[in-house]
Amino acid sequence: MIKVEGLTKRYARHVAVNNISFEVGKGEIVGFLGKNGAGKTTTMRVLTCFLPPTSGKASVAGFDVVDQSLDVRKHIGYLPETPPLYPEMEVSGYLTFVAKLKGIASPDVAKRVGEVIERTALGSVANTIIGKLSKGYRQRVGIAQAIIHNPPVLILDEPTSGLDPEQQREARQLIASLAGDHTIILSTHILSEVEQSCSKVIIINDGQIVAVDSVANLHRRRQGGEMVAVQVAGAPEPEVRQRLELVPGVAKVIGRDAPEGSVAFEIEALEQYTVRPDLARAIVQSGWDLNELRTVGESLEEIFLDLTKSEVKPADAAPATTGATS
Protein backbone atom coordinates (compact mmCIF):
# COMPACT_ATOMS: atom_id res chain seq x y z
CA MET A 1 0.00 0.00 0.00
CA ILE A 2 2.94 2.30 0.78
CA LYS A 3 6.34 1.82 -0.82
CA VAL A 4 9.38 3.98 -0.15
CA GLU A 5 12.63 3.36 -2.02
CA GLY A 6 15.87 5.24 -1.39
CA LEU A 7 14.01 8.35 -0.28
CA THR A 8 16.13 11.40 0.51
CA LYS A 9 14.93 14.85 1.49
CA ARG A 10 17.58 17.53 1.68
CA TYR A 11 17.10 21.12 2.82
CA ALA A 12 19.68 23.82 2.14
CA ARG A 13 22.24 22.71 4.70
CA HIS A 14 20.54 19.76 6.28
CA VAL A 15 19.63 16.24 5.21
CA ALA A 16 16.32 15.49 6.95
CA VAL A 17 15.82 12.01 5.50
CA ASN A 18 18.69 10.03 4.04
CA ASN A 19 18.10 7.14 1.64
CA ILE A 20 15.33 5.34 3.52
CA SER A 21 13.34 2.39 2.24
CA PHE A 22 10.36 0.54 3.68
CA GLU A 23 7.02 -0.93 2.73
CA VAL A 24 3.70 -1.00 4.52
CA GLY A 25 1.12 -3.62 3.59
CA LYS A 26 -2.63 -3.22 3.30
CA GLY A 27 -4.43 -2.98 6.65
CA GLU A 28 -1.25 -2.68 8.72
CA ILE A 29 -0.90 -0.18 11.55
CA VAL A 30 2.69 0.99 11.63
CA GLY A 31 4.26 2.99 14.43
CA PHE A 32 6.80 5.53 13.27
CA LEU A 33 9.26 6.15 16.09
CA GLY A 34 12.11 8.58 16.39
CA LYS A 35 13.39 11.47 18.43
CA ASN A 36 12.39 15.03 17.59
CA GLY A 37 14.09 16.02 14.34
CA ALA A 38 14.77 12.40 13.34
CA GLY A 39 12.87 12.79 10.04
CA LYS A 40 9.43 11.38 10.89
CA THR A 41 7.41 14.44 9.93
CA THR A 42 9.46 15.02 6.79
CA THR A 43 8.82 11.44 5.66
CA MET A 44 5.10 11.84 6.36
CA ARG A 45 5.03 15.12 4.47
CA VAL A 46 6.64 13.48 1.45
CA LEU A 47 4.09 10.65 1.56
CA THR A 48 1.22 13.16 1.70
CA CYS A 49 2.67 15.16 -1.23
CA PHE A 50 3.19 18.25 0.92
CA LEU A 51 6.91 18.08 0.18
CA PRO A 52 8.61 16.61 -2.88
CA PRO A 53 11.53 14.26 -2.27
CA THR A 54 15.04 15.36 -3.26
CA SER A 55 15.71 11.87 -4.62
CA GLY A 56 14.29 8.38 -4.41
CA LYS A 57 10.74 7.20 -4.94
CA ALA A 58 7.63 6.87 -2.84
CA SER A 59 4.24 5.55 -3.83
CA VAL A 60 0.90 5.27 -2.09
CA ALA A 61 -1.81 2.88 -3.30
CA GLY A 62 0.28 2.38 -6.44
CA PHE A 63 0.52 6.09 -7.29
CA ASP A 64 3.80 7.98 -7.35
CA VAL A 65 3.90 10.95 -4.93
CA VAL A 66 5.57 13.20 -7.52
CA ASP A 67 4.07 12.18 -10.86
CA GLN A 68 0.56 11.26 -9.62
CA SER A 69 0.27 13.62 -6.71
CA LEU A 70 -3.48 14.30 -7.04
CA ASP A 71 -4.23 10.54 -7.12
CA VAL A 72 -2.10 9.99 -4.02
CA ARG A 73 -3.90 12.82 -2.20
CA LYS A 74 -7.26 11.21 -2.99
CA HIS A 75 -6.13 8.03 -1.25
CA ILE A 76 -4.64 9.62 1.85
CA GLY A 77 -6.08 11.06 5.04
CA TYR A 78 -3.56 13.19 6.90
CA LEU A 79 -3.51 14.54 10.42
CA PRO A 80 -0.50 16.84 10.83
CA GLU A 81 1.09 17.35 14.24
CA THR A 82 -0.99 20.51 14.67
CA PRO A 83 -4.55 19.68 13.51
CA PRO A 84 -5.33 21.91 10.51
CA LEU A 85 -8.43 23.61 11.91
CA TYR A 86 -10.10 26.95 11.24
CA PRO A 87 -11.04 28.26 14.71
CA GLU A 88 -13.79 30.53 13.38
CA MET A 89 -15.74 27.62 11.82
CA GLU A 90 -18.26 25.30 13.44
CA VAL A 91 -17.28 21.61 13.58
CA SER A 92 -19.96 20.51 11.09
CA GLY A 93 -19.23 23.45 8.77
CA TYR A 94 -15.52 22.66 8.86
CA LEU A 95 -16.09 18.97 8.09
CA THR A 96 -18.46 19.92 5.26
CA PHE A 97 -15.73 22.17 3.82
CA VAL A 98 -13.12 19.40 4.07
CA ALA A 99 -15.53 16.83 2.57
CA LYS A 100 -15.98 19.04 -0.49
CA LEU A 101 -12.22 19.62 -0.73
CA LYS A 102 -11.63 15.87 -0.64
CA GLY A 103 -13.97 15.40 -3.57
CA ILE A 104 -17.03 13.80 -1.94
CA ALA A 105 -20.03 14.20 -4.26
CA SER A 106 -22.37 17.00 -3.15
CA PRO A 107 -25.42 14.80 -2.43
CA ASP A 108 -23.28 12.58 -0.14
CA VAL A 109 -21.54 15.32 1.82
CA ALA A 110 -24.14 15.76 4.59
CA LYS A 111 -24.50 11.99 5.06
CA ARG A 112 -20.74 11.46 5.26
CA VAL A 113 -20.26 14.37 7.67
CA GLY A 114 -22.96 12.86 9.90
CA GLU A 115 -21.28 9.44 9.82
CA VAL A 116 -17.87 10.84 10.72
CA ILE A 117 -19.29 12.99 13.52
CA GLU A 118 -20.91 9.88 14.95
CA ARG A 119 -17.78 7.75 14.58
CA THR A 120 -15.55 10.32 16.28
CA ALA A 121 -18.17 11.08 18.97
CA LEU A 122 -18.40 14.75 18.05
CA GLY A 123 -22.19 14.92 18.07
CA SER A 124 -22.38 17.07 21.20
CA VAL A 125 -20.10 19.73 19.69
CA ALA A 126 -21.19 19.54 16.04
CA ASN A 127 -22.48 23.12 16.11
CA THR A 128 -19.73 24.53 18.34
CA ILE A 129 -17.10 26.95 17.07
CA ILE A 130 -13.80 25.04 16.80
CA GLY A 131 -11.94 27.82 18.63
CA LYS A 132 -13.98 27.05 21.74
CA LEU A 133 -13.22 23.31 21.81
CA SER A 134 -10.84 21.57 24.24
CA LYS A 135 -7.60 20.11 22.88
CA GLY A 136 -9.05 16.60 23.02
CA TYR A 137 -12.05 17.57 20.91
CA ARG A 138 -9.84 19.46 18.47
CA GLN A 139 -7.74 16.33 18.02
CA ARG A 140 -10.90 14.36 17.32
CA VAL A 141 -11.97 16.93 14.73
CA GLY A 142 -8.48 16.53 13.23
CA ILE A 143 -8.95 12.77 12.99
CA ALA A 144 -12.48 13.29 11.61
CA GLN A 145 -11.16 15.45 8.76
CA ALA A 146 -8.53 12.81 7.99
CA ILE A 147 -11.10 10.01 7.60
CA ILE A 148 -13.94 12.06 6.07
CA HIS A 149 -13.38 10.68 2.54
CA ASN A 150 -12.77 7.16 3.86
CA PRO A 151 -9.22 6.96 2.48
CA PRO A 152 -7.44 3.60 2.34
CA VAL A 153 -4.31 5.16 3.91
CA LEU A 154 -4.16 7.26 7.07
CA ILE A 155 -1.08 9.19 8.11
CA LEU A 156 -1.28 10.51 11.65
CA ASP A 157 1.51 12.68 13.01
CA GLU A 158 1.53 12.38 16.80
CA PRO A 159 -2.24 11.98 17.11
CA THR A 160 -2.17 11.84 20.92
CA SER A 161 0.38 14.60 21.47
CA GLY A 162 -0.57 17.02 24.22
CA LEU A 163 -3.64 15.08 25.33
CA ASP A 164 -4.30 14.08 28.91
CA PRO A 165 -4.29 10.31 29.72
CA GLU A 166 -8.07 10.00 29.36
CA GLN A 167 -8.04 11.81 26.02
CA GLN A 168 -5.08 9.69 24.90
CA ARG A 169 -7.02 6.54 25.70
CA GLU A 170 -10.01 7.82 23.71
CA ALA A 171 -7.82 8.77 20.76
CA ARG A 172 -6.12 5.35 20.87
CA GLN A 173 -9.49 3.60 20.91
CA LEU A 174 -10.60 5.69 17.96
CA ILE A 175 -7.46 4.82 15.99
CA ALA A 176 -7.78 1.15 16.93
CA SER A 177 -11.37 1.20 15.64
CA LEU A 178 -10.06 2.38 12.26
CA ALA A 179 -7.76 -0.64 11.92
CA GLY A 180 -8.65 -3.13 9.24
CA ASP A 181 -10.44 -0.60 7.02
CA HIS A 182 -7.36 1.56 6.74
CA THR A 183 -3.61 1.24 6.43
CA ILE A 184 -2.27 3.53 9.13
CA ILE A 185 1.11 5.11 9.78
CA LEU A 186 1.25 6.93 13.09
CA SER A 187 4.15 8.70 14.67
CA THR A 188 4.28 9.02 18.41
CA HIS A 189 6.57 9.46 21.38
CA ILE A 190 4.43 7.20 23.53
CA LEU A 191 5.99 3.79 23.15
CA SER A 192 3.29 1.91 25.00
CA GLU A 193 0.91 3.26 22.40
CA VAL A 194 2.94 1.56 19.68
CA GLU A 195 2.98 -1.71 21.61
CA GLN A 196 -0.79 -1.57 22.04
CA SER A 197 -1.82 -0.37 18.60
CA CYS A 198 0.79 -1.23 16.00
CA SER A 199 1.54 -4.39 14.10
CA LYS A 200 4.90 -3.04 12.95
CA VAL A 201 7.42 -0.44 14.06
CA ILE A 202 9.73 1.75 11.99
CA ILE A 203 12.46 3.38 14.05
CA ILE A 204 14.21 6.33 12.44
CA ASN A 205 17.26 8.13 13.74
CA ASP A 206 19.11 11.09 12.21
CA GLY A 207 17.19 10.63 8.97
CA GLN A 208 18.02 6.95 8.62
CA ILE A 209 15.97 3.87 9.41
CA VAL A 210 17.52 1.75 12.15
CA ALA A 211 14.81 -0.88 12.47
CA VAL A 212 11.69 -2.07 10.69
CA ASP A 213 9.95 -4.99 12.31
CA SER A 214 7.05 -6.19 14.43
CA VAL A 215 7.18 -5.27 18.11
CA ALA A 216 7.48 -8.97 19.04
CA ASN A 217 10.36 -9.53 16.62
CA LEU A 218 12.17 -6.47 17.90
CA HIS A 219 11.97 -7.84 21.43
CA ARG A 220 13.16 -11.25 20.31
CA ARG A 221 15.95 -9.95 18.14
CA ARG A 222 17.36 -7.58 20.74
CA GLN A 223 17.13 -10.03 23.51
CA GLY A 224 19.00 -13.09 22.19
CA GLY A 225 17.98 -15.98 24.49
CA GLU A 226 14.77 -16.10 26.48
CA MET A 227 14.72 -14.39 29.92
CA VAL A 228 12.41 -15.92 32.51
CA ALA A 229 11.50 -14.69 35.98
CA VAL A 230 10.61 -17.33 38.61
CA GLN A 231 9.56 -17.14 42.24
CA VAL A 232 9.55 -20.27 44.34
CA ALA A 233 8.51 -20.97 47.96
CA GLY A 234 9.28 -23.93 50.16
CA ALA A 235 13.05 -24.36 49.75
CA PRO A 236 16.29 -22.55 50.54
CA GLU A 237 17.88 -20.36 47.87
CA PRO A 238 21.04 -22.48 47.13
CA GLU A 239 19.00 -25.64 46.65
CA VAL A 240 16.60 -24.01 44.20
CA ARG A 241 19.43 -22.33 42.33
CA GLN A 242 21.28 -25.64 41.98
CA ARG A 243 18.19 -27.40 40.66
CA LEU A 244 17.38 -24.66 38.15
CA GLU A 245 20.94 -24.64 36.80
CA LEU A 246 20.49 -28.29 35.88
CA VAL A 247 17.53 -27.56 33.58
CA PRO A 248 18.60 -28.05 29.91
CA GLY A 249 19.12 -24.75 28.05
CA VAL A 250 19.65 -22.59 31.14
CA ALA A 251 22.70 -20.35 30.68
CA LYS A 252 22.62 -18.26 33.83
CA VAL A 253 20.61 -18.03 37.06
CA ILE A 254 20.59 -14.57 38.64
CA GLY A 255 19.12 -13.97 42.08
CA ARG A 256 16.68 -11.12 42.66
CA ASP A 257 14.67 -9.66 45.53
CA ALA A 258 11.76 -11.77 46.73
CA PRO A 259 9.08 -11.54 49.45
CA GLU A 260 9.87 -13.24 52.72
CA GLY A 261 9.45 -17.02 52.61
CA SER A 262 10.25 -17.29 48.93
CA VAL A 263 13.20 -16.99 46.56
CA ALA A 264 13.30 -15.37 43.14
CA PHE A 265 15.58 -15.59 40.12
CA GLU A 266 15.97 -14.30 36.59
CA ILE A 267 17.02 -17.09 34.30
CA GLU A 268 18.78 -16.48 31.02
CA ALA A 269 18.32 -19.26 28.50
CA LEU A 270 20.58 -20.21 25.63
CA GLU A 271 19.41 -19.07 22.18
CA GLN A 272 16.95 -21.44 20.47
CA TYR A 273 15.82 -22.88 23.86
CA THR A 274 12.37 -22.45 25.38
CA VAL A 275 13.03 -23.26 29.02
CA ARG A 276 9.76 -22.31 30.75
CA PRO A 277 8.07 -25.78 30.59
CA ASP A 278 11.17 -27.52 31.91
CA LEU A 279 11.62 -24.96 34.69
CA ALA A 280 7.99 -25.39 35.78
CA ARG A 281 8.32 -29.17 35.73
CA ALA A 282 11.57 -29.13 37.72
CA ILE A 283 10.12 -26.90 40.43
CA VAL A 284 6.85 -28.81 40.79
CA GLN A 285 8.54 -32.22 40.73
CA SER A 286 10.85 -31.02 43.54
CA GLY A 287 7.73 -30.43 45.65
CA TRP A 288 8.14 -26.64 45.85
CA ASP A 289 5.47 -23.99 45.33
CA LEU A 290 5.71 -22.14 42.02
CA ASN A 291 4.51 -18.58 42.75
CA GLU A 292 5.59 -16.90 39.52
CA LEU A 293 6.86 -17.92 36.10
CA ARG A 294 6.93 -15.36 33.31
CA THR A 295 9.00 -14.21 30.36
CA VAL A 296 10.71 -10.87 30.87
CA GLY A 297 12.01 -8.77 27.99
CA GLU A 298 13.72 -5.55 27.18
CA SER A 299 11.04 -2.89 27.02
CA LEU A 300 10.35 -1.15 23.73
CA GLU A 301 11.57 1.99 25.41
CA GLU A 302 14.96 0.40 26.05
CA ILE A 303 15.12 -0.93 22.51
CA PHE A 304 14.20 2.50 21.15
CA LEU A 305 16.78 4.33 23.26
CA ASP A 306 19.43 1.81 22.35
CA LEU A 307 18.72 2.02 18.62
CA THR A 308 18.57 5.79 18.55
CA LYS A 309 21.81 6.46 20.41
CA SER A 310 23.70 8.95 18.29
CA GLU A 311 26.72 6.68 17.90
CA VAL A 312 24.63 3.85 16.48
CA LYS A 313 25.04 3.51 12.76
CA PRO A 314 22.32 1.80 10.73
CA ALA A 315 24.73 -0.94 9.68
CA ASP A 316 25.42 -1.77 13.34
CA ALA A 317 21.81 -1.86 14.34
CA ALA A 318 19.18 -4.45 13.67
CA PRO A 319 19.08 -5.02 9.93
CA ALA A 320 16.34 -2.72 8.64
CA THR A 321 16.00 -4.49 5.33
CA THR A 322 15.17 -7.90 6.72
CA GLY A 323 11.85 -6.81 8.03
CA ALA A 324 11.43 -3.94 5.64
CA THR A 325 8.83 -5.53 3.48
CA SER A 326 5.50 -7.02 4.21
Partner 1 sequence: MMRNISTICGKEVRAYFTSPIAYLLMGLFGLITGFMFYSATVYFINAGTQQQMSGQGGAMSINDYVIAPLLGNAGVIGLFLVPLISMRLFAEEKRSGTIELLLTSPISDWEIILGKWLGAMVMYLAVIGMSAINVGLLFAWGTPDWRPILTGYLGLILQGATVLAIGTFISTTTKNQIIAGGSSFAICLLLWVLSWVSNYSDTWYGKAIAYCSILVHFEPFSKGIIDTKDVIFYLSAIFLGLFLTARSLESLRWRA
Could you list the residues that contact partner 1 (CB under 8 A)? 45, 48-52, 70-71, 73-74, 76, 78, 80, 82-89, 93, 97-98, 100-103, 106, 145
How far CA 259 is from CA of 134, 157, 167, 218, 321, in Å, comes to: 46, 44, 37, 32, 45
Min CB(155)–partner 1 separation in Å: 9
The identity of residue 57, as a single letter, is K
Q: Give me the phi and psi of 144, to 5 degrees please.
A: -60, -40
Min CB(60)–partner 1 separation in Å: 11
Min CB(138)–partner 1 separation in Å: 12
**Three-state DSSP class for residue 167:** helix
Q: Are 40 and 204 in contact (CB under 8 A)?
A: yes
Instruction: Select from 209, 213, 304 the least CA-distant residue to 18.
Output: 209
Min CB(70)–partner 1 separation in Å: 5
Of the pair 88, 302, the CB lying nearest partner 1 is at 88
Of the pair 74, 221, the CB lying nearest partner 1 is at 74
Dihedral-angle region of residue 207 (phi above 0 means left; psi in -120 to 50 means alpha; beta otherwise): left
Instruction: Select from 168, 77, 94, 157 the least CA-distant residue to 131.
Output: 94
**Three-state DSSP class for residue 279:** helix
In the DSSP assignment, the letter for residue 319 is -
Q: Give me the phi and psi of 162, to 5 degrees please.
A: 80, 5
Of the pair 69, 196, the CB lying nearest partner 1 is at 69
Of the pair 34, 77, the CB lying nearest partner 1 is at 77
Of the pair 101, 110, the CB lying nearest partner 1 is at 101
d(CA 317, CA 112): 46
Min CB(189)–partner 1 separation in Å: 19
Q: Three-class SS string for 224-257?
A: CCCEEEEEEECCCHHHHHHHHHCCCCEEEEEEEC
d(CA 312, CA 34): 13
Min CB(17)–partner 1 separation in Å: 14
Min CB(323)–partner 1 separation in Å: 28
Min CB(44)–partner 1 separation in Å: 10
Of the pair 106, 310, the CB lying nearest partner 1 is at 106
Of the pair 76, 210, the CB lying nearest partner 1 is at 76
Of the pair 75, 119, the CB lying nearest partner 1 is at 75
